[in-house]
Amino acid sequence: MNRNHTMLQFFEWHVPNHGKHWEDLAIMAHEFSVHGIDTVWIPPACKGMTQADNGYGVYDHFDLGEFDQKGTVRTKYGTRKELLHAMDVCRKENIQVIADVVMNHKAGADDTEHFEVVEVDPENRHEVISEPFEIEGWTRFNFKGRKKQYSPFQWDYHHFNGTDYDASEDRTGIFRILGDGKDWNDHVDDEFGNYDYLMFANIDYQHPNVQEEMIHWGTWFAKTLGCQGYRLDAIKHINAAYVSRFVHAMKESFGEDFYFVGEFWNPDLEAKQRFLDQTDFTIHLFDVALHYRFHQASIEGRDFDLRTLYEGTLVATHPTHAVTFVDNHDSQPGESLESWVGDWFKPLAYALILLREDGFPCVFFGDYFGIRGDDPIPSKKELIDPLLDARYYLAYGEQEDYFDHANTVGWVRHGVESFDGSGCAVVISTGDDGFKDMKVRDTHAGSTWIDVTGNRDDEVVIEEDGTGRFPVNGGSVSVWALKSYGLKRKEAVEERR
């Protein structure tokens, strides 16, 4: 039996523009593996529209910090050489790398072009609110610094179906490009009527040359990095039929185990189910609905009914296709989808994704290392590490839930013979101090259990029938395990270190 898999999102929005991020990954990789993190999601590695760009304003997909373009050789995160070195270190530490892929749009064009458009209503992109007219748009990408290395393809307005700026009038809007039978792509999210257009120059996946170029790039990128999968950005804005084709092409090149997880930022369960159907269930999705439930619980406190926590979540209905997370770069304070889970609830939320059997949990850099910027938030590493270690050593076997109280819930993982000492009892309270009477294995009768989080310093002795009364502090989480594990944990971690 394999150990549990755990992902770390290795960035937050305020990573400094010092070009040291890939170096930091190489330095930290071993410590990640010590705590059972075997998957790292790295930020977009391609050249952005400026050096300070986080990678989501992608300019040149084939420039990983190698060419002098947009006033810089390196990206915000470093150079191509430093990135490939970090990849080598991760491989040596048995950490698979999931690369962030931005395929929806391009930004920072090299020149403008004149072409015909119609303006559409931002609230209903099907509604045209102008006659056809000509604009001057930033849609020509020549990549002169790269000089056609890796790909001769150059982009112009024929390869896009929308943009948001008319340079001739210095005016913004949502402009649908005309000609060649262009329209918005089908099989996208239906918010605003059709949510194909998100930002910048919107890539037109109805164009056959675009389709082939992006598959060429996707293959080149994975080969160059030696990564083990992709995190697809903004996929609710991309034709799901093309996403499916892209996924199948990558799996054909790199094998069925090449991993995909998509950012489909819509808490609606039916919308995610439709997308999974359209992509033949070849891709996992982040469980946005669960994130919002955590956010709600952190606001409502004791008024939130924990028995309903998983209602409407992907992990409840499609557990093998759900990537569970607490927060990420978009939900952190000040960002476009701000929905920050309150700090008091963070350890509870991490227990709810790390110590349960369903879902592939992802830890956020901003929680693990803290958030920088004008309003910094401290690291919670000391709170998360015990939960990571409990996932690595303890959270195995059959799961038995005790979600029978609005404010105090728990569950037991009964452990497996493959991992000596495995199994745990988890209790969470969003109200007062409480407890849960829960049954562990009969063979544990008479054994002593301790709280490996350190939140409680008392001990629980298991009754003859395998039942224990496991306490928890108000607004807290306790993870109970055999005392022998608790005593050995530090030694085991140090040995791995």
Residue 386 DSSP code? H
Q: Are residues 82 and 168 in the same domain?
A: no
CA 480 from centre of chain: 29
Catalytic residue among 263, 287, 327, 358: 263
246 and 189 share one domain: no
Statement to judge: residues 339 and 443 lie in one domain: no
Handedness of CA 298, 299, 301, 304 (dihedral sign): negative
Q: Do 286 and 357 belong to one domain?
A: yes
CATH number for the domain harbouring residue 420: 2.60.40.1180
| H/E run at residue 161 | strand 160-166
| Strand 124-128, strand 39-42: pairing | unpaired
Structural domain contains residue 245? yes
Report the alpha-carbon distance of residue 21 to residue 54 in Å, rounded: 11
Residues 112 and 248 in one domain: no
The answer on whether 159 is annotated among ligand-binding residues is no
196 is in an annotated binding site: yes
233 is catalytic: yes
Catalytic residue status for 170: no
Domain boundary pick from 340, 358, 393: 393
Residue 173 is encoded by which pair of tokens? Answer: 């809007």
Number of domain units in the chain: 3
In a domain, 22, yes or no: yes
For residues 227 and 99, membership in a common domain is answered with yes
Same domain, 373 and 411: no
Q: What whole-number distance in Å separates Cα of residue 411 and Cα of residue 479? A: 10
Distance between CA atoms of residues 359 and 310, nearest Å? 12
Regarding whether 294 and 223 lie in a shared domain, the answer is: yes
Does residue 365 lie within any of the structural domains?
A: yes
Residues 91 and 112 in one domain: no
Does residue 157 sit in helix, strand or coil? helix
Q: Answer with the one of 373, 393, 413 that is the final residue of a domain.
A: 393
Q: How far is CA 88 from the centre of its chain?
A: 22
Task: Give the active site residue among 233, 327, 389, 451.
Answer: 233
At 296, which CATH number?
A: 3.20.20.80
pLDDT beneath 50: ranges in the chain: none
For 276: left if phi > 0, alpha if psi spans -120 to 50, otherwise beta; the answer is alpha
Kind plus residue range of the DSSP H or E element containing 115: strand 111-121
Q: Considering the domain boundaries, does residue 1 fall inside one?
A: no
Q: What is the pTM of this model?
A: 0.96
CB 390 within 8 A of CB 413: no
Residues 104-128 pLDDT 10s: 999 999 999 999 999 999 999 999 9
Is 204 marked within a binding site?
A: yes
For residues 306 and 352, state if they share a domain: yes
Residue 285 maps to a domain: yes
What is residue 484's predicted lDDT score, i.e. its pLDDT?
Answer: 85
* Whether residues 18 and 51 fall in one domain: yes
CB 78 within 8 A of CB 65: yes
Task: Kindly state the tokens that stand for 63.
Answer: 């420039």
So what's the pLDDT on residue 180?
Answer: 86
Q: Which residue range(s) make up the domain with 410?
A: 399-496
Together in a domain, 227 and 164: no
pLDDT tens digit sequence for 453-488: 999 999 999 999 999 999 999 999 999 999 987 656
Assigned domain for 86 exists? yes
100 labelled binding-site residue: no
308 vs 290: CA distance, rounded Å: 11
The sign of the CA dihedral 66, 70, 72, 77 is negative
CATH code, 129: 2.40.30.140
Q: Is residue 342 part of a domain?
A: yes
Q: Please identify, among 361, 376, 393, the residue that sits at the C-terminal boundary of a domain.
A: 393
Is 2 inside a domain boundary?
Answer: no
